[in-house]
Amino acid sequence: MGVLWCLISAAGFGLSPIFAKGAYQSGVSVTEMLTGRFVIAAVVLWAVCAWRRPALPTGRVLLTAVGLGGIGYAVQALCYFGAVARIDASLAALLLYTFPALVTALAVALRRESLDRRKLAALGCSAVGLVLLLGLGGVSEGGTTGVLLALGAAVAYSLYLTVADGLPAGVDVYLLSAIVCTAAAITMGFAGGFQLPGTAEGWMWTGLLGLVSTVLAMATLFVGVRLLGAPTAAILSCAEPVVTLASTSVVYGESLTPGQLAGGVAVLAAVLVLRLNLDFVRQRQLVGGNAPDTPVHSGHLHDR
């Protein structure tokens, strides 16, 4: 059952580009979609918190959580879903998955971790994968902006996780997620002029993104972590970009070149090597993760 819950979570996160592209085709902008997504997720998460009644954080912890949502998570989501609007979602998802290597590099630079052979091998593998993704198979004409946005999302997520890793482990993860989503919704509202989807179809896709790829995906991951432990759950979450690749291929006819597929395998191999370390697993439980796009902090449990 633990494996099943983790795979459901990975599928939820991995399907987010399908919902995003559906929203775009119905005339919804990136900011409108993300504002609606975070509003929906925040409402559901605050309802959960009202039932659980956790203690509210104060002082530095509260300010950090607000900053993570209003700046870190908002920027990451804008970059990632901006990339999905411009390039194949499978490529965007694999580029985002370079974030574990970036997190490790940041941890080493900040002297939170030491560089050993395993980490060095994983970083090298991720670098080779990135070269293959971008160098062999080419990026479609006009896709340079999308590639830069996807890499920007990976950098933003890495910084987000590095900051989130310093939060106390005792903070309730649902409350932390509710604060982060609320702050992100406010930032998106300002960025998009507080515009929301204007059609029923747009709300349908936005609702699926908020409920399936945010709340449901995060909650099922929490259950999976409790049953399996964070290290195993984190490894299973690597199914997420595979789900993105398969679903976008079936629904939108997207495909990677052989060189890009090899690069994707190299990137995911680096992730698996790094995620065998419990220290890295702690980083995906602050908010739930898209993909990659969803954050989380595992001192409390663990997300994605």
Average pLDDT over all residues of the chain:
81
**Is the model's pLDDT at 300 over the cut of 50?**
no
Choice between 289 and 27, residue whose per-residue pLDDT is larger? 27
Q: How far apart are CA 274 and CA 215, in angstroms?
A: 26
Mean pLDDT, residues 82-109: 84
What percent of the chain is modeled with pLDDT above 90? 27
Structure tokens at 269: 């191999």
CA 249 to chain centre: 20
How would you classify residue 59: left for phi > 0, otherwise alpha for psi between -120 and 50, otherwise beta?
A: left
User: How far is the CA of 42 from the CAs of 68, 76, 248, 250, in angstroms?
Assistant: 14, 17, 27, 31
Q: How far apart are CA 135 and CA 218, in angstroms?
A: 34
Q: How far apart are CA 273 and CA 276, in angstroms?
A: 6
What pTM was computed for the model?
0.82
**Per-residue pLDDT, 34:** 94
Return the minimum-mean-pLDDT range out of 134-148, 180-194, 260-274: 134-148
- The backbone torsions φ and ψ at residue 130, rounded to the nearest 5 degrees and listed phi first, read -65, -40
**Is the model's pLDDT at 302 over the cut of 70?**
no
| pLDDT tens digits, one per residue of 165-205 | 777 777 788 888 899 899 999 999 998 888 899 899 999 99
